[in-house]
Amino acid sequence: MEAVLSKIRFRDPQIEMAHGAGGKASRRLVEGLFAPLLFGDSTEPLGDAAHLEVGGTRIAFTADSFVVKPLRFPGGSIGELAVNGTVNDLAVSGARAQALVVTYVLEAGLPSEILEAEVRAMAKAAACASVVIAGGDTKVVEHGKADSMYITTAGIGRPIPGINIAAASVRPGDKVLVSGPIGDHGITILLARGELELEAELCSDTRSVLPLVEAMARVAGPGIRWMRDPTRGGVATSLNELARDCGLGVMLWEDAVPVRDVVRGACELLGLDPLHIANEGQFVAVVAPEYAHAALQALHDWPGGSAAAIVGEMREEPSGTLLGVNGYGGVRAIDMLVGDPLPRIC
Amino acid sequence: MKFVDEFRDAAVITKAAEEIRRLAEPGRQYRFMEVCGGHTHAIYRFGLKDLLPPNIELVHGPGCPVCVLPMGRIDDGLSMARDPNVIFCAFGDMMRVPGAQGSPLEHKARGMDVRIVYSPADALNLARKNPDRHVMFFAIGFETTAPSTALVLMRAKAQGVSNFSVFSNHVTIIPAIRAILDSPDMRIDAFIGPGHVSTVIGCRPYEWIARNEGRPIVVTGFEPADILQSIVMLLQQIRAREAKVENQYKRVVPWEGNQAALRAMAEVFELRPYFEWRGMGFISQSALRIRDTFAQWDAEQRFETPGVRVTDPKAAQCGEVLKGVLRPTQCKLFGKECTPEKPVGALMVSSEGSCAAYYNYELRKQPVLTTIGAGISAQA
Amino acid sequence: MCLAIPAKVVELFPGERSRALVEVTGVRRHIDIGLLEDDPPVPGDWVLVHVGFAMSKISEDQALDQLRMLTMLGESEAAMEEVQGYGVET
């Protein structure tokens, strides 16, 4: 017991919003408190989903929670995020989702029609993603808690044949791919909150990325080393985690990263970096160089994959670091987020 | 993006970088200070240091309004919002700045009503929409931002919005530059001058720097091509043994400044006799307080504040780094006790403070730059 | 202090002299043009926006001029003399 206790490295006196933002503070919490106490002696890097052996069969297993304000936003709602987010966690771990269970924590006073709208959205998203919702639970808390509703899911699936994801298999020279334009979801949410008084034609990118992953796997399966869905904390956080987990460096060609003009404009106005903004319908992948172009072509040929791009490559040095290079050779280190992205004026 | 992309064009930038290498005399050391935190941020974000020859050193100046704000002022602001009826509003930049009992965000986590606004006008709107609450806007910034605060106060007065006040922590740029030049250790050859402050104050206020101190100063924009062009202009002045004020940012900065903005500032604000700058001590006539004619909207008059002076630990060498005497890495606390996540001193607190910028963007680059060229040409 | 973005004025409001709707690559915001009351912008003008206020009009001529100078860099030193200094000789 003492040996376990001594591994607890989480020293923050209280929980802050930053601990849920997907950046450094989140990592400190997970690695410093949850991992030593809950995850046993496993030295595997923490991934999006766990691949386990159950009764002789390999399954993939994941859980996720969804807390979003506002509940409905252009392009989707919390219900869709819940289904797609879970399917995507499994997809980027190299698994095809088969079933989800869902729990709702509902705030007393929530109008039933709002709940019904979310449940319908979930049913539709599940049908779209060919996944079964197998059961769930409901709790109701007092008015003033739960921001209308919180949704938690657990998802189970089967490994996609031919894919073997492991940070340890990543090699210098491997290419980094992104499945489409980044930053759409986070900026949509920021604008939908209405506090910054910005308007734009933009919607969340929430969708299941499983079809794209499978399309890529069909031609490049043996070459797919690692994948992640860059949700909170954005692409920069995911690539920092990659660099840390495999001990290599990531070189990102910033001009190659697809970003919609409207997202760029909003980020410039607010002083935000699209690389730190959440996505809900994209993935980043590391692919062996001999498979990279086939993988890219497969994505381009698939509906919804036309904006996919090769955006960087793995390097020996500097270890554990994400570097961004621009079109004229300027280089900057890109860290993971500390907390939530905050607009700035300076 | 118009007026942005053209000044980030790779061909234009490469040419400017070549011209800099041509103009910089080998064997001669150049130290140029960029005054504005925004320039510091741009230099790191665009990796501009990598394009300069090794004998040009960029020294980061004190133009970061968050960095120079003494911790006690944050405590004062937060104490005003102790009353649950008060809504504390500030720019995003302020949210993680630590006070003695935590930052505004940490206070929010403990139940204080803390909100981020993009504009002081949004804070006034919030007051209008919430007549039962009091909205207190924590105002920071140099002369770029002060006129906007001034206009908002004028509107609050004209419209009789009584549930609104401003806690003014506006500071002025010239005294900061004077403090740099007065510092005995400083060895700055020339200045990359403030860009957006100059849209308000114009270029005349810098003339004494050229005339009395013999230092070239170029008012500069914030895109990579602007900063590089400015360095070209500084090198040309030095080569010609000149020292004058030039305006590189002509597309935006009028030589005479913005008279309407200056009028608004003069109507609402007056200079404090002195104000403490974190890391730099007390500087006279360097900060703005709200005039008595607007006393009703002056948070310092409406609220009792502790007014406690909180000093940085002696080991923190912020002052010397601010004045360019030390590099961030030369401060004993840099990267150890003082990091962006747990900032001890002023310059680690804001993302454009020189220590934070260096830590976030530069520290881990190391000797990988020679392979960058290969990386770009290998790009698919 | 420093973050300011070029934005295009797309709409003015007859009843509210200080308000304008601006746009940057599809993002729209209402801003205050009170600081430009001496020479108010009209739709189509580009302004520099900082904390929701227009600070200055952007001169397309000056921008093109500057780009021209940048592209001419190194071609002729005399070209750089086009950059006027307004300061005092030392």
% of chain C exceeding 90 in pLDDT: 72
CB of A261 within 8 Å of any CB in chain C? yes
- Verify whether the Cβ–Cβ distance A331 to B368 is below 8 Å: yes
What is the C-alpha separation between C77 and A254, in angstroms, rounded? 34
CB pairs under 8 A between B and C: 174
Give the nearest chain A residue to C1 (CA atoms): A346
Residue B198 maps to a domain: no
Task: Choose which CATH entry (3.40.50.300, 3.30.1330.10, 2.60.120.10, 2.10.109.10) describes domain A48-159.
Answer: 3.30.1330.10
What are the domain boundaries of chain A? 1-40, 48-159, 167-333
Region of residue B344 (phi > 0: left; psi between -120 and 50: alpha; otherwise: beta): alpha
| Residues of chain A numbered 144-203 and touching chain C (CB < 8 Å) | 197-202
Task: Taking residues B205-234, report their average pLDDT.
Answer: 97
Binding partners of C (≥3 Cβ pairs within 8 A): A, B
Q: What is the mean pLDDT of chain A?
A: 92
pTM: 0.91
Q: Domain with B154 in it: what CATH number?
A: 3.40.50.11740
Beta strands A76-77 and A72-73, pairing class: antiparallel
Does the pLDDT at position A8 exceed 80?
yes
Helix pair angle (B146-158, B259-268), 10° resolution: 60
| Structure ipTM over 0.95, yes or no | no
Residue B52 maps to a domain: no
pLDDT digits (tens, 9 = 90+) for B126-163: 999 999 999 999 999 999 999 999 999 999 999 999 99
Give the domain range for residue C12.
5-80
pLDDT digits (tens, 9 = 90+) for B246-267: 999 999 999 999 999 999 999 9
Does the pLDDT at position B185 exceed 60?
yes
What is the C-alpha separation between A188 and A118, in angstroms, rounded? 18
CB of B172 within 8 Å of any CB in chain C? no
Q: How confident is the model at residue C1 (pLDDT cuts 50, 70, 90)?
A: low
Task: Choose which CATH entry (3.90.1150.10, 3.40.50.2300, 3.90.650.10, 3.40.50.1100) describes domain A167-333.
Answer: 3.90.650.10
What is the C-alpha separation between B200 and B192, in angstroms, rounded? 17
Q: A327: distance to nearest CA of chain C, Å?
A: 17
Residue B298 maps to a domain: yes
Q: Domain with C48 in it: what CATH number?
A: 2.30.30.140
Q: A270: distance to nearest CA of chain B, Å?
A: 8
Choose the closest CB to A323 out of B44, B115, B365. Answer: B365
- Verify whether the Cβ–Cβ distance B260 to C69 is below 8 Å: no
Q: How many CA atoms lie within 13 A of A204 on its CB side?
A: 28
pLDDT the model gives residue B312: 78
CB of B314 within 8 Å of any CB in chain C? no
Give the domain range for residue B167.
71-172+257-302
pLDDT the model gives residue A50: 87
CB of B158 within 8 Å of any CB in chain A? no
Residue C73 maps to a domain: yes
pLDDT the model gives residue A4: 54
Within 8 A by CB and 6+ apart from A189, the residues are A68, A69, A70, A73, A204, A278
Total domains present in chain B = 1
Q: How confident is the model at residue B346 (pLDDT cuts 50, 70, 90)?
A: confident
Residue C46 maps to a domain: yes
- Verify whether the Cβ–Cβ distance B15 to C87 is below 8 Å: no
CB of B58 within 8 Å of any CB in chain A? no
Residue B18 maps to a domain: no
CB of B61 within 8 Å of any CB in chain A? no
Binding partners of B (≥3 Cβ pairs within 8 A): A, C
Residue C89 maps to a domain: no
CB of A41 within 8 Å of any CB in chain C? no
Total domains present in chain C = 1
> Please, what is the Cα angle at B193 between B190 and B196, to 5 degrees?
175
- Verify whether the Cβ–Cβ distance A266 to C27 is below 8 Å: yes
Higher-confidence residue: A243 or B96?
A243
Choose the closest CB to B118 out of A15, A196, A268. Answer: A196
pLDDT digits (tens, 9 = 90+) for A240-261: 999 999 999 999 999 999 999 9
What is the C-alpha separation between B72 and B69, in angstroms, rounded? 8
